[in-house]
Copies of this chain bind each other. A is one copy, B any other.
Amino acid sequence: MLEKSIRAFMPYPFAPVKSAPVGTLAGLTFAVKDLFDVAGYPTGGGNPHILAMSGIRRNNSPVVQQLLDNGAQFIGKTHTNEMAFSMSGHNYHYGTPVNGAAPERIPGGSSSGSASAVSNQCCDFALGTDTGGSVRTPASYCGLFGIRPTHGRISLDGCQPLAESMDTCGWFARDATVFAAVGDVLLPEDTVDSASPSLAIHPALFSRLPASSQQCLLPFIDAISSTWGGVHQISAELPDVDSAYLAFRVIQGRESWQAQGETIEREGLVLGPDVAARFAWGKQVTDSQVSEAITVREQVTQWWNEQLGNRILIMPTVPDVAPLLTTSDSEIEHIRRISHDLLSIAVLTRRPQVTIPLATLQGAPLGLSLMGPCGSDRQLIRLAGEIYSLARTGR
């Protein structure tokens, strides 16, 4: 069951974890990103020093407990990028989990082990976290459904924080029905009317993609438009992407240092060079940078609220398929940068986003996303299943 060779899991057996004998998730197996507490296990957060300080946790995170109470069977904890602060999937200490849909490509991260576990069919679904794209990116790269829910809508108690105003609990599944069943357990009822979704796109979010990605994704938009009675085109110019990215980075940097800086300095944590550099940058962030970033966040949020209202935005999840494992560090960093132009929209606006494993390009998966208004999470999941079904069966 636990495939050690895919490097998705903490490779050690700890105590078995009990789940309810019946429930809506009975018969389904799941894995948990090693940021969430699971009783009988340590919580390592992708760093061996944190692991050694962790102790064995006595309580399950509320989200884990809900899954167990509904009959899902826990099979193991999965590797995360260190401190959840990277999107490559490569952990300096533990290596790179295998992308089950494209083994020659990176899995993406930071929820790399969870995406690897599900894409390699080790379990039916897996918990991850999405602060800046850490579920959406590996879901697109590994050919999975993945959700970043409305910020604050699912408890993060018993979960190691990265950046409080951005952290969310998401999950991965191969199957739309499983994906939805987990949402039925973890999500409260929607707070927006979901009778007949109104859809929108912003062409500029597509026109910046590589031509191959555009050619791959746009036919799905046409099909969706035909079935759902049209897609509204937003024509207003997008908020400046560099300002939005900087706002994202400043807030994440400040909050991540607030969350982990004291531990990093007190313990003299040995971090991978990329993660160490990000925390060091976060330490330098000034109060005036933060207040400026918060202003930009409010402007971006207001802009999208005005443009979208309760419409659901269809958008690319990331610009392209997963990079090859041989891709250089500087190229990975560039991909991270341009990915954030797409990924940071939901982060800054706190909107939920679901990525659907629709397309294939160069033999690798590429997701298409739905971003809805806050509190429309269940609607997004339902619509994602319908779109997936349409694409697969024409119905």
Contact = CB atoms under 8 A, between A and B. Distances in A.
A51 B51 contact: yes
A11 B11 CA distance: 14
A18 interface: no
A53 interface: yes
Contact of A56 (B14, B42, B53): B53
A55 B49 CA distance: 8
Contacts of A268: 15, 40
Interface in A9-62: 10-15, 40-42, 44, 48-49, 51-56
A267 interface: yes
A267 B55 CA distance: 11
A13 B55 contact: no
Contacts of A270: 12-15
A303 to B, nearest CB: 45
Contacts of A44: 52
Interface in A231-283: 267-268, 270
A10 B267 CA distance: 18
A93 interface: yes
B49 A14 contact: yes
B56 A12 contact: no
A54 B54 CA distance: 8
A11 B52 contact: no
A52 B49 contact: no
A93 to B, nearest CB: 5
B55 A53 contact: yes
A52 B42 contact: yes
A14 B93 CA distance: 11
A40 B14 CA distance: 24
Contacts of A12: 48-49, 93, 270
A80 to B, nearest CB: 15
A56 B11 contact: no
Contacts of A267: 15, 56
B56 A55 contact: no
Given A40-B268, A268-B40, A14 B55 contact: no
A278 B196 CA distance: 66
Contact of A11 (B10, B51, B93): B93
Nearest to A268: B15
Contacts of A55: 52-53, 55
A93 B55 CA distance: 18
